[in-house]
């Protein structure tokens, strides 16, 4: 009956969750392998029992253990994601796909260090960003037709001060993601987190689990992915799912993702997004989901709903604009990645060697003070007290230095991570446009071959012009948000940096005041 | 005639000094080996000629070179100090000995990095601190006699508030070491530095070269080395002898050494020290030198001039006090070395990785700003200007961070280096006392063996008591100076640290002010 197992990775149990904390190398007795959902029930050497992720242990072919013996290799190398919410995929309409842009903890700046065991855990990351589309979506199906949009489906593009722009709503939609609440399944054996989302348009909040966000992401990507960058959701996370720190981090990132979607005039106004934010009841939600999944104006066909009320652009002009955006987004991608790399390094330095160094400086002053205290010389006290205080101040500075990145660098890195995600979508956007430009270039040949008529070529050019206006509107949206975001985050960063240096200066001033004035 | 030689170490010529800059690995032709003073005249491949230290080159047994061939091994391994001032030892009364406490550039904090070639230069460091004495001076010659001092030779020890103390003068002697002046020898071929020393007691300054300081050090060590820690002079230095930075550093350290000697009531009042500071002319100096070198009250005999006007101490009491001081000086030595190690590491970090990191942060902001500038989006200028300014601010911070140790850590490390030097003298001081304690312990046996009389034992105890009072007076002098020095240097350090953090905060505040207020 009892099968022995060795723990491969540290795992910290959530209190009240029937889980068992285990440490790497520890030996366990597996009590029940049929718990399901990637969990086994196990007992440690102290006799404590609880649930442990089955990927975290390796069963041992132990001749002393009676009963069924599991071959050890059956568990080796099988470490993998288990279902995100730790539950069975009982809802068959929940299609899942790994996120394309890996918004991993380490990208988020130092988070990896906080999530010890997670760092040991290998991940499967798929790079396929368009589950419903081929590598570069073929714009042909869109280009050859003439479209007349129903008014409620129509996405107008206007000429604004900065060039083509989307139609912006009078009041910008926003929402608050808050109050993460633990729900349970499996008769209380397993739990998940439900977030409350409160839009500023209604007075009613809705509840969603991560898997619902994921469903929304899939729908938005499918529908708008050719015209609008839809950044991935924050990365899935196995270990410490219920640790406060992790919940806070995921919520913060879901908030960031939702705010960005709310800020987008096209996305925020879409039926599927509105459904997510304002569904009335379970029935409403289920019906809305089914409808959204049947939407046919997805992929390149999204352009068929777009209606720029401007002169038609020449294909040469289109190509030029496309190249300008391509160049900008690649350069910004490099710049953002550089800043992220520099920032991560600085974070590591602050929380690692620099913290240790200030601690050592603090300790060196304190040990000198201790030695001085043994001098048996009178009139020693003022100096040794001041030296001790100085040492303690440097120890405090060590903690301030180590904690500072969370206060400022964190937001700078988060913002740049968001932009890395957005910029990662641009090659696909640009790719669709380039493919369309090529198609229109081929049009003359196709006309000569009688494959299409001269009218068709004009239609293609008109549609290409629409695509270009959409890209311009999107770039202008991107630029205006970028200026706002970087302005905001740089101010936040600098404000915190100023406070950081002023705090340290203040502490050192206080330490200084304790010496005898000469 | 021409002998080929390969350069072993980089050497930078002093302008106007007939020297030739050479680089490691470079081939030279030796033109004249008979220049003397450790120099050869050589020609490089460009045809430039000049003086090069002979220890920096290795002559090659080159069959192509005609004339006398020097065996290569004659120069291998012969790298050594050459005469400090680069001159012949024409003054035969100048006895030289390498300094015991290596006050090297790297101990001085970061200086090694500035003196590139010096780091390659292997050094001979002798650990013999008492050239005229055996490893532990034998106190027997002193212990067995009764002394009556001449009044002008007498070194009184009084009971002060803190215990036994030396007699302190009404006005403390001090001097200023300044105005380093280059002098030349060898018909202008070689140069040396002469320092001006101005004591606060006379209105006349005297000139001394490093070798004269070295002579003074030897005399003080010989005379007082058993009773008073005489720290070594700043380390000798080959490369860049005339570089401004080095001259400044050596002068600063000679100043520190002289000030410490001036502050010592026994040393500063001694005939040899007064001679050094106040000799009238060359004749006066030479006569004084000869007299000092003939002084017989040196080594352990210095105690014979000491006169504590206090009750005789019991040998057990002496031993206890000796152990107390021994323990304190060892602990402080550890503490000081720890602080030095931590400080050097911090210096390296500030001037190395940390500077680079702030530079990279600065560059990352600036490149992002450059990318933003290419957006062709209007209303970009305020953000890009502010971002560029922020980037430049972090580049400035990088320089401030790298330059800061010179402003604060430098003095902290210099002071600790001085104390490391002083503490390095204590084991010898303690050793003499321990040897004397052992001698007195043996006295009973010697009395029984009729080797000494009972009266002799009493004399020994009285003399041991004198030694102990001297050690106590010295420890009290050490403690009072230590409290003063550390109080001063810690305040200086913290003042500069406060200013450092405030300066950075100010710069960041200014950068922050350039963003658009949200």
pLDDT digits (tens, 9 = 90+) for A355-407: 999 999 999 999 999 999 999 898 899 999 999 999 999 999 999 999 999 99
Q: How far apart are CA A55 and CA A8, in angstroms?
A: 8
- A343, A220: one domain: no
Nearest Cα to Cα of residue A43 among A31, A54, A35: A31
Which residues are B190's β-sheet partners?
B185
Q: Is residue A94 part of a domain?
A: no
Structure tokens at B175: 């001097």
Q: How far apart are CA B289 and CA B277, in angstroms?
A: 12
Q: What is the CATH number of the domain that holds B13?
A: 2.30.30.40
- The full DSSP string for B378-419 is TT-HHHHHHHHHHHHHHHHHHHHHHHHHHHTHHHHHHHHHHH
Cβ pair B504:A508 closer than 8 A: no
Per-residue pLDDT band for B69 (boundaries 50, 70, 90) equals very low
Buried b or exposed e, range B357-370, using 16+ CB within 10 angstroms: bbbbbbbbbbbbbe
Please say whether the dihedral angle defined by the alpha carbons of residues B497, B498, B503 and B509, taken in this order, is positive or negative: positive
Q: So what's the pLDDT on residue B416?
A: 96
Structure tokens at A344: 């991560």
Cβ pair B327:A374 closer than 8 A: yes
Q: Which segments in chain A show pLDDT lower than 70?
A: 1-2, 14-17, 35-38, 61-136, 149, 151, 186, 236-242, 518
- B325, B422: one domain: yes
Burial class (CB in 10 A: 0-12, 13-18, 19+), B290: exposed
Q: How far apart are CA B58 and CA B79, in angstroms?
A: 10
Mean per-residue pLDDT for B173-182?
92
**Which of B296, B323, B358 marks a domain boundary?**
B296
In contact, B269 and B153? CB cutoff 8 Å: no
Burial class (CB in 10 A: 0-12, 13-18, 19+), A194: middle
- A399, A283: one domain: no
Of A253-267, B30-44, B343-357, which range is least confident?
B30-44
Q: Does A513 touch chain B (CB under 8 A)?
A: no
Whether B109 shows a pLDDT value over 70: the answer reads no
Q: How far apart are CA B204 and CA B420, in angstroms?
A: 33
- The torsion angles phi and psi of B123, rounded to 5 degrees, stand at -120, 150
Q: Give CA separation, B362 vs A220, A489, B316, B357, B377, in Å.
A: 37, 16, 66, 9, 24
Q: Name which of B338, B508, B515 is nearest A367 (Cβ-Cβ).
A: B338
Query: Strand, helix or coil at B28?
Result: strand
Q: What is the CATH number of the domain that holds B195?
A: 3.30.1520.10
Residue to test with chain A: of B481, B508, B510, most A Cβ within 10 A: B508
Q: Compute the C-alpha angle A493/A497/A498, nearest 5°.
A: 120
Buried b or exposed e, range B180-196, using 16+ CB within 10 angstroms: beeeeebeebbbbbebb
Q: Does A96 touch chain B (CB under 8 A)?
A: no
Q: What is the CATH number of the domain that holds A464?
A: 1.20.1270.60
Count of other CB atoms within 10 angstroms of residue B425: 21
Q: Does B361 touch chain A (CB under 8 A)?
A: yes
DSSP state at residue A117: G
In contact, A272 and A295? CB cutoff 8 Å: yes
Q: So what's the pLDDT on residue A99?
A: 29
- A257, A350: one domain: no
Q: Does A73 touch chain B (CB under 8 A)?
A: no
Q: Does B381 touch chain A (CB under 8 A)?
A: no
Q: Compute the C-alpha angle B306/B312/B318, nearest 5°.
A: 85
- A342, A365: one domain: yes
- Kindly state the percentage of chain B with pLDDT values over 70: 81
Q: How far apart are CA A298 and CA A284, in angstroms?
A: 22
Q: So what's the pLDDT on residue A91?
A: 33
Q: Is residue A359 part of a domain?
A: yes
- B324, B347: one domain: yes
Cβ pair A332:B372 closer than 8 A: yes
Residue to test with chain A: of B329, B338, B343, B368, most A Cβ within 10 A: B368
Whether B385 shows a pLDDT value over 90: the answer reads yes
Q: Is residue B45 part of a domain?
A: yes
Q: Does B343 touch chain A (CB under 8 A)?
A: yes
Q: So what's the pLDDT on residue B230?
A: 96
Count of other CB atoms within 10 angstroms of residue A37: 18
Cβ pair A371:B483 closer than 8 A: no
Interface of A with B in 189-228 (CB under 8 A): none
Q: Is residue A268 part of a domain?
A: yes
Q: How far apart are CA B8 and CA B4, in angstroms?
A: 13
Q: Is residue A93 part of a domain?
A: no
Per-residue pLDDT band for B97 (boundaries 50, 70, 90) equals very low
Q: So what's the pLDDT on residue A49?
A: 86
Q: First vs last Cα of chain A: how many Å apart?
A: 79
Cβ pair B498:A518 closer than 8 A: no
Q: What is the pLDDT of residues B141-171, one digit of tens each?
A: 898 888 876 767 789 999 999 999 999 999 9
Q: Is residue A132 part of a domain?
A: no
Chain A closest CA to B170's CA: distance in Å? 20
**Which of B296, B320, B351 marks a domain boundary?**
B296
Q: What is the pLDDT of residues B413-452, one digit of tens each?
A: 999 999 999 999 999 999 999 999 999 999 888 899 988 8
Nearest Cα to Cα of residue B8 among B60, B50, B55: B55
Cβ pair B354:A354 closer than 8 A: yes
In contact, A2 and A31? CB cutoff 8 Å: yes
> What domain range is B432 assigned to?
137-153+311-517
Structure tokens at B264: 């010592």
- B242, B288: one domain: yes
Question: Within 13 Å, how many C-alpha atoms sit on residue B264's CB side?
Answer: 24
* Chain A residues near residue B495 by CB distance under 8 angstroms: 512
Cβ pair B342:A357 closer than 8 A: yes
Q: So what's the pLDDT on residue B246?
A: 81
Chain B closest CA to A76's CA: distance in Å? 41
* Chain B residues near residue A378 by CB distance under 8 angstroms: 161-162
Cβ pair A328:B375 closer than 8 A: yes
Q: Give CA separation, B69 vs A367, B28, B62, B63, B106, in Å.
A: 60, 15, 8, 8, 39
Instruction: Provide the mean pLDDT of chain A.
Output: 82
- B221, B330: one domain: no
Q: Does B362 touch chain A (CB under 8 A)?
A: no
Burial class (CB in 10 A: 0-12, 13-18, 19+), B289: buried
* Chain B residues near residue A489 by CB distance under 8 angstroms: none
Q: Does B487 touch chain A (CB under 8 A)?
A: yes
Q: Are strands A27-36 and A39-43 parallel, antiparallel or unpaired?
A: antiparallel
Q: So what's the pLDDT on residue A242?
A: 58
Q: So what's the pLDDT on residue B193?
A: 86
The reply, when asked if residue B250 is annotated as ligand binding, is yes
Q: Is residue A409 part of a domain?
A: yes
In contact, A416 and A346? CB cutoff 8 Å: no
Who has greater pLDDT, A67 or B283?
Answer: B283
Who has greater pLDDT, B343 or A9?
Answer: B343
Q: Does A380 touch chain B (CB under 8 A)?
A: yes
Instruction: Provide the mean pLDDT of chain B.
Output: 82
The DSSP element (H or E) to which B341 belongs, if any, is helix B315-349
Per-residue pLDDT band for B357 (boundaries 50, 70, 90) equals very high
Q: What is the pLDDT of residues A297-343, one digit of tens each?
A: 899 999 999 988 889 999 999 999 999 999 999 999 999 999 999 99
Q: So what's the pLDDT on residue A236?
A: 65
Per-residue pLDDT band for B236 (boundaries 50, 70, 90) equals low
The reply, when asked if residue B290 is annotated as ligand binding, is no
**Which of A241, A263, A296 marks a domain boundary?**
A296
Residue ranges of the binding site of A: 209, 211, 250
- The torsion angles phi and psi of A439, rounded to 5 degrees, stand at -60, -45
Q: Does B285 touch chain A (CB under 8 A)?
A: no
Please give the tally of structural domains in chain B. Answer: 3
Cβ pair A501:B497 closer than 8 A: no
* Chain A residues near residue B515 by CB distance under 8 angstroms: 487, 490-491, 494
Q: Name which of B328, B383, B482 is nearest A483 (Cβ-Cβ).
A: B383
Cβ pair B383:A486 closer than 8 A: yes
* Chain B residues near residue A380 by CB distance under 8 angstroms: 479, 483
Q: Does B339 touch chain A (CB under 8 A)?
A: yes
Q: Does B386 touch chain A (CB under 8 A)?
A: yes
Cβ pair A508:B494 closer than 8 A: yes
Q: How far apart are CA B278 and CA B296, in angstroms?
A: 22
Which residues are B207's β-sheet partners?
B196
- A167, A147: one domain: no
- A406, A491: one domain: yes
- B330, B282: one domain: no
Cβ pair A498:B491 closer than 8 A: no
Q: Are strands B49-53 and A49-53 parallel, antiparallel or unpaired?
A: unpaired
Which residues are B194's β-sheet partners?
B181, B209
Q: Name which of A354, A487, A518 is nearest B488 (Cβ-Cβ).
A: A518
Q: So what's the pLDDT on residue A182?
A: 83
Q: Does A352 touch chain B (CB under 8 A)?
A: no
**pTM, to two decimals:** 0.75
- B249, B330: one domain: no
* Chain B residues near residue A334 by CB distance under 8 angstroms: 367, 371
Chain B closest CA to A353's CA: distance in Å? 9
């Amino acid at each position: 009956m009892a099968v022995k197992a060795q723990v491969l990775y540290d795992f910290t149990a959530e209190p009240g969750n029937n889980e068992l904390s285990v440490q790497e190398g520890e030996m366990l007795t597996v009590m029940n392998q049929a718990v399901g959902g990637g969990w086994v029930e196990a007992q440690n050497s102290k006799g404590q029992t609880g649930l442990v992720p089955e990927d975290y242990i390796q069963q041992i072919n132990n001749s002393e253990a009676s009963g069924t013996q599991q071959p050890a290799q059956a568990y080796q190398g099988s470490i993998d994601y288990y279902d995100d919410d730790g539950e069975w995929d009982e809802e068959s309409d929940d299609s899942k796909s790994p996120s394309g842009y890996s918004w991993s903890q380490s990208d988020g700046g130092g988070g990896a260090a906080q999530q010890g065991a997670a760092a040991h855990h290998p991940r499967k990351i798929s790079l396929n960003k368009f589950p419903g589309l081929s590598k570069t979506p073929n714009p042909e199906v869109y280009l050859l037709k003439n479209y007349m949009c129903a008014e409620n489906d129509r996405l107008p593009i206007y000429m604004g001060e900065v060039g083509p722009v989307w139609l912006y709503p009078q009041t910008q939609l926003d929402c608050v993601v808050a109050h993460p609440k633990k729900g349970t399944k499996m008769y209380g054996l397993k739990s998940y987190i439900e977030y409350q989302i409160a839009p500023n348009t209604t007075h009613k909040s809705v509840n969603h689990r991560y898997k619902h966000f994921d469903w929304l992401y899939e729908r938005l990507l499918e529908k708008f992915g050719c015209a609008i960058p839809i950044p991935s959701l924050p990365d899935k996370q196995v270990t410490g799912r219920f640790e406060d720190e992790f919940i806070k981090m995921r919520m913060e990132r879901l908030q960031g993702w939702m705010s960005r979607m709310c800020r987008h005039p096209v996305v925020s106004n879409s039926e599927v997004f509105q459904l997510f934010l304002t569904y009335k009841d379970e029935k409403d939600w289920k019906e809305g989901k089914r409808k959204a999944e049947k939407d046919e104006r997805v992929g390149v066909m999204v352009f068929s709903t777009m209606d720029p009320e401007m002169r038609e652009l020449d294909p040469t002009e289109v190509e030029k604009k496309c190249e300008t955006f391509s160049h900008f987004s690649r350069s910004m991608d490099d710049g953002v990645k550089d800043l992220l790399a520099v920032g991560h390094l600085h974070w590591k330095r602050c929380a690692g060697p620099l913290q240790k160094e200030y601690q050592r400086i603090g300790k060196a002053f304190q040990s000198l003070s201790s030695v001085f205290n043994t001098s048996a010389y009178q009139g020693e006290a003022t100096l040794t007290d001041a030296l001790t205080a100085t040492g303690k101040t440097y120890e405090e500075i060590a903690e301030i230095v180590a904690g500072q990145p969370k206060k400022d660098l964190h937001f700078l890195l988060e913002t740049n991570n968001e932009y890395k995600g957005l910029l990662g979508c641009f090659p696909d956007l640009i790719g669709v446009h380039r493919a369309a430009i090529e198609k229109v270039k081929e049009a003359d040949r196709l006309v000569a071959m009688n494959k299409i008529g001269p009218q068709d070529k004009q239609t293609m050019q008109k549609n290409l012009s629409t695509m270009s206006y959409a890209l311009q509107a999107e770039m202008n949206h991107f630029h205006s948000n970028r200026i706002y975001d970087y302005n905001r985050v740089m101010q936040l960063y600098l404000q915190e940096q100023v406070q950081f240096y002023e705090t340290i200066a203040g502490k050192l001033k206080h330490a200084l005041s304790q010496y005898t004035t000469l």
